[in-house]
Chains A and B, each alone.
Chain A
Amino acid sequence: MKVDFNIDIHHLPRVEGHGDIRISVKDGKLIDAKWAVVETPRFFEAMVKGLSAERVPFLTSRICGICSISHSLASIRTLERAMQITPPEPARIIRLLAMHGETLQSHALHLFFLAAPDFMDTPSVVPLLHSHPEVVEAGLMLKELGNELSIATCGRATHPVSLVLGGVSKAPSKPRLTEIRRMITDRKPMLDKATDFFMTLRIPEFVRETEFISLHDGESYPYIGGDLVSTDGVVHDENDYLLMTNEYMVDFSTSKFTKVSRQSSAAGALARFNNNYDQLHPRAKEAAAAFGLKPVCHNPFMNNIAQLVECHHIVASAEAIIDQLLDSDLCDLRTDYKPKAGAATGAVEAPRGVLYHHMETSDEGKVVKGDCIIPTTQNNANIHHDLHALVEQALSQGKSEKQTEKLCEMLVRSYDPCISCSVH
């Protein structure tokens, strides 16, 4: 049957920020599919100019309400590298724990609040509070664990207060760390509960070959710094981030698009998984095996499962880091520095993928130039091209307008886009 329909979703719900899905089908053929980001820009690159370097992480953390710790640490890394500041080892470990907290919080928020309602056919998580209380409880307890890790290491879960140039301004107390260590032990069963629940969900079958970009150091699963790698075999130094992004503009989006070897590429949990499988904790590998998830996986809907796999890795890694911190004296937290002119890139793996900040400083320690390239910015082109392929697949399978619309919404949500972040 030849079908005609237009899908026009204005301000897609259950994602961070404002994006529209626009699909047009005529005589059973796809005419156009667009992922249009309509978010208002805030112009952070213009706003960092002239600001004192020490204040910059406090400004850039405001790029994102979900991954503020990643933005703060990306700015700290670029400015420390530009001004040749080496943070002390305990500070480095505390920062890693802070990132673990943020990623766990962000993944739990996405999996349970934003993605799960799609699979359960509810408008939000609220009806699930009554129909699946034990599942929501598991999600809330994991999200709370993530937030507690962030609060202990940064003073606050959103917009960190104690992550500073040169190190950290305050360390978590040992009694607090012991408390969180116990919390991890108590909440591990929640991870298994979450895994059991997601095993019951039907992940849509859809494959479009993609180039996946992430950090990689060959030793540990990536969080802060490393080489830039792609599943197509591209490798670049952190400072050569522009070669891994190649930003360009399209007229229907206030977010820029990026590409590397193909017309688009992807960042995020699935990209990290695809490039760093060997560095995952054995428990995370077990969880992946339960879902049949193996590298390189080209189904974007499996990004949900890759996030869940990462939750297993994070909880195991956080446990080991806390043991390490409990054994150290936590005294040397902050390196003194003198402002200096320089330029460098700081790359971190934010929950939604590799995040680059690049800054140049003056002799007085003011920022003279800034550039931020956001994970969702790197995913927008891939979402756009995936939508084309997904609608064509849906049409060939005879899916209805309503089924197609739902699949399109689920596809975009699988990327866990952070849209205001991507426009910044």
Chain B
Amino acid sequence: MNHLGFELDRIKIGSFDFTCCEGCQLQLANRESNLPDFLALLDIRNFREISSERLDDYDIALVEGSITRSDEIKRLKSIREKAKVVVAYGSCACFGGVNSRKNLIPQEDTVREVYGDKHVETMPSMRIADIVQVDYSIPGCPVSKREVERIVVGLVTRSLTSLPKYPVCVECKQNLNTCLFDLGEVCLGPIARAGCDAVCPTGKTPCLGCRGPADEINFPAFQELVTSRGLSTEEMKEKLAFYNGFTDYTDHEG
């Protein structure tokens, strides 16, 4: 592979899933029109969902899902030992994701609700970074394939990659949408990290902050916005808790 006159190697990649829906890994098989070109950048060493080949020499491990059982901790640590770079892939891996909603309930009640008296092992949903060192994070529920393509190209060409620092509102305005606050909705667009092209508000549904907080957000001003519009703070709290991405702000609340 040649880039600006330099020979480049394909990246040796592994893709692994823990407690999740596997929707983020599935994004790798989307955007079909450029899929053969995208796959040409990768040397897929281990990706159970699409290949029965399982090799242990990979440089980059994409890790999807949150951690909710002890065997997952062991498997994750062994992946960390083999990989040079670990990427937390999707909101479950980055923040604990929707799975974290069960952390609000006593674990034994959770198990009883679904399995009755049967013993089933589970623990509160943890982020990948709670267990091992994470080198990159790609948030999103699901991740955006365009962003993944940009980051993979960055890794192949050894160039810097970063996530947008600004909030979803910026992309929402670029899409010329009517502000959902003007339609009486609580939207997390003013504080959530962009990079999704404001896909939810563009579809006229409020942002639930799947990409976590943008850099340097003004959280008190956001709370003030919700109350000054006469909107429900209960609804705001339900939305902030949805992907567990805003605990740095909400945990300090009284």
A interface residues with partner B (beta carbon < 8 Å): 11, 13-17, 40-43, 45-47, 49, 51-52, 55, 58-59, 62-66, 68, 109, 113-114, 117, 123-126, 129, 140-141, 143-144, 147, 154-159, 161-162, 164, 169-170, 249, 254, 420-421
Chain B, residue nearest A15 (CB): B49
Q: Contact: A14 with B52, CB < 8 Å?
A: yes
Question: Which of B22, B35, B53, B109 counts the most A-chain CB atoms under 10 A from its CB?
Answer: B22
B191 within 8 A of A: no
Question: Which of A55, A65, A147, A159 counts the most B-chain CB atoms under 10 A from its CB?
Answer: A65
Q: Contact: A421 with B51, CB < 8 Å?
A: no
Instruction: Give 6 A-B contacts (CB < 8 Å), ordered by A residue.
Output: A40-B18, A109-B26, A114-B50, A155-B199, A159-B141, A169-B204
Query: Interface residues of B, CB < 8 Å — how many?
Result: 59
Complex interface residues of chain B between 25 and 43 (CB less than 8 A to chain A): 25-27, 29-30, 32-33, 35-36, 39
Contacts of A420 in B (CB 8 A): 17, 20-22
State in angstroms the CA–CA spacing of A30 and B179 once bound together.
65
Among the listed stretches B110-118, B127-135, B149-157, B222-230, which one makes contact with chain A, having 4 or more residues with CB under 8 Å of it?
B110-118
Chain B, residue nearest A421 (CB): B21
Chain A, residue nearest B54 (CB): A13
State in angstroms the CA–CA spacing of A103 and B130 once bound together.
37
Expressed in whole angstroms, the minimum distance between the Cβ of A79 and any Cβ of chain B is: 16
State in angstroms the CA–CA spacing of A41 and B119 once bound together.
12
Question: Which of A17, A58, A117, A421 counts the most B-chain CB atoms under 10 A from its CB?
Answer: A58
Q: Which of B18, B203, B242 interacts with A154 by CB under 8 Å?
A: B203
Given contacts A40-B122, A41-B122, A43-B122, contact A63 B18 (CB under 8 A): no
Q: Contact: A46 with B113, CB < 8 Å?
A: yes
Question: Which of A15, A45, A62, A129 counts the most B-chain CB atoms under 10 A from its CB?
Answer: A62
Q: Contact: B101 with A126, CB < 8 Å?
A: no
Expressed in whole angstroms, the minimum distance between the Cβ of B198 and any Cβ of chain A is: 10
State in angstroms the CA–CA spacing of A87 and B214 once bound together.
36
Q: Contact: A40 with B72, CB < 8 Å?
A: yes
Contacts of B208 in A (CB 8 A): 58
Q: Contact: A125 with B50, CB < 8 Å?
A: yes
The 4 closest A-B pairs by CB, nearest first: A65-B23, A155-B203, A124-B51, A161-B203
State in angstroms the CA–CA spacing of A140 and B31 once bound together.
9
Q: Contact: A43 with B102, CB < 8 Å?
A: yes
B200 within 8 A of A: yes
B247 within 8 A of A: no
Expressed in whole angstroms, the minimum distance between the Cβ of B23 and any Cβ of chain A is: 2
Contacts of B235 in A (CB 8 A): 52
Chain A, residue nearest B107 (CB): A43
Chain B, residue nearest A250 (CB): B118
Expressed in whole angstroms, the minimum distance between the Cβ of B134 and any Cβ of chain A is: 20
Expressed in whole angstroms, the minimum distance between the Cβ of B10 and any Cβ of chain A is: 12
Contacts of A159 in B (CB 8 A): 23, 141-142
Q: Contact: A40 with B35, CB < 8 Å?
A: no
Given contacts A41-B120, A55-B238, A249-B118, contact A170 B52 (CB under 8 A): no
For the complex with contacts A65-B25, A155-B200, A249-B118, 14 further pairs of A-B residues with Cβ separation under 8 Å are A13-B49, A40-B18, A41-B114, A43-B113, A46-B114, A62-B21, A62-B98, A64-B21, A66-B26, A126-B44, A126-B51, A140-B35, A249-B115, A249-B116
Q: Contact: B199 with A156, CB < 8 Å?
A: yes
State in angstroms the CA–CA spacing of A161 and B102 once bound together.
23
Expressed in whole angstroms, the minimum distance between the Cβ of A94 and any Cβ of chain B is: 12
Chain B, residue nearest A371 (CB): B114
State in angstroms the CA–CA spacing of A40 and B127 once bound together.
15
B205 within 8 A of A: yes
State in angstroms the CA–CA spacing of A41 and B17 once bound together.
13
Expressed in whole angstroms, the minimum distance between the Cβ of A350 and any Cβ of chain B is: 13
Contacts of B122 in A (CB 8 A): 40-41, 43
State in angstroms the CA–CA spacing of A11 and B142 once bound together.
23
Chain B, residue nearest A113 (CB): B50
Q: Contact: A169 with B242, CB < 8 Å?
A: no
Contacts of B137 in A (CB 8 A): none
State in angstroms the CA–CA spacing of A73 and B114 once bound together.
22
Q: Contact: B101 with A59, CB < 8 Å?
A: yes
Contacts of B109 in A (CB 8 A): 46
Contacts of B12 in A (CB 8 A): none
Q: Contact: A13 with B52, CB < 8 Å?
A: yes
Chain A, residue nearest B118 (CB): A249
Q: Contact: A155 with B102, CB < 8 Å?
A: no
Q: Contact: B98 with A59, CB < 8 Å?
A: yes
Given contacts A43-B122, A249-B115, contact A13 B48 (CB under 8 A): yes
Chain A, residue nearest B25 (CB): A65
Contacts of A16 in B (CB 8 A): 22, 49
Contacts of A162 in B (CB 8 A): 203-205
Contacts of A125 in B (CB 8 A): 50
State in angstroms the CA–CA spacing of A421 and B20 once bound together.
9
Q: Contact: A144 with B21, CB < 8 Å?
A: no
Given contacts A49-B113, A254-B120, contact A68 B51 (CB under 8 A): no
Contacts of A141 in B (CB 8 A): 32
Contacts of B114 in A (CB 8 A): 41, 43, 45-46
**Interface residues as binary, B220-254 with A (CB distance below 8 Å gives 1, 0 otherwise):** 00000000000000010011001000000000000
